[in-house]
Amino acid sequence: MIRTALPEDLDAIAALHTRARATYYRGRIPEQAYAGEAELARSREGWTRAVNRSETEGRVFCAERDGEITGVAAFLTAGGETTLTQLHVDPAHWRRGTGAALHAACLAAWRRAGVERVRLEVYEHNLRAQAFYASHGWRPDPSAVPAGSHRTLWLEVGEASGD
């Protein structure tokens, strides 16, 4: 089930976020940059801001299965641009359609809001995520020069098929 995240979900969301990030950061950046109590607290603080956004500023969706948060997605609309800021699935729940369901919920919200184009940044070594996004229509910005450890992708939202 996909639903809007609630304040009482914050501990579960921050823990899931930490587990998911460890799968692609481990061995590539220092562990304190993605794990540990200080990072968990920083993550929870960021998710608190996201969950408390107004609907016009963005949304946070949770995937829930048997009462457990199994995935989370967040987006932000600011300055006329919408960004998919987070999409994480608990590694224990990979390959079960959770990411696709979260992506579909975001897509539906963008269409309702009249959003035409969305951006995201994906870690260059997270090949699993890059393949997921490519399969959902996200494309690299051909004019962007890669900088740092992340790549920018864009999605043309378009209309839902059958509309």
Residues paired with residue 73 on neighbouring β-strands, in sequence order? 61, 87
- CATH code, domain carrying 138: 3.40.630.30
**Exposure pattern of 114-153 as b/e (b: 16+ CB <10 Å)?**
ebeebbbebbeebeebbebbeebebeeeeeeeeeeeebbb
pLDDT tens digits, one per residue of 44-94: 899 999 999 998 999 999 999 999 999 999 999 999 999 999 999 998 888
Domain residues for 149? 2-156
Number of domains in the chain: 1
With respect to residue 96, please indicate whether it lies within any of the assigned structural domains. Answer: yes
pTM: 0.87
With respect to residue 162, please indicate whether it lies within any of the assigned structural domains. Answer: no
pLDDT tens digits, one per residue of 93-120: 888 999 999 999 999 999 999 999 999 9
With respect to residue 163, please indicate whether it lies within any of the assigned structural domains. Answer: no
With respect to residue 46, please indicate whether it lies within any of the assigned structural domains. Answer: yes
With respect to residue 161, please indicate whether it lies within any of the assigned structural domains. Answer: no
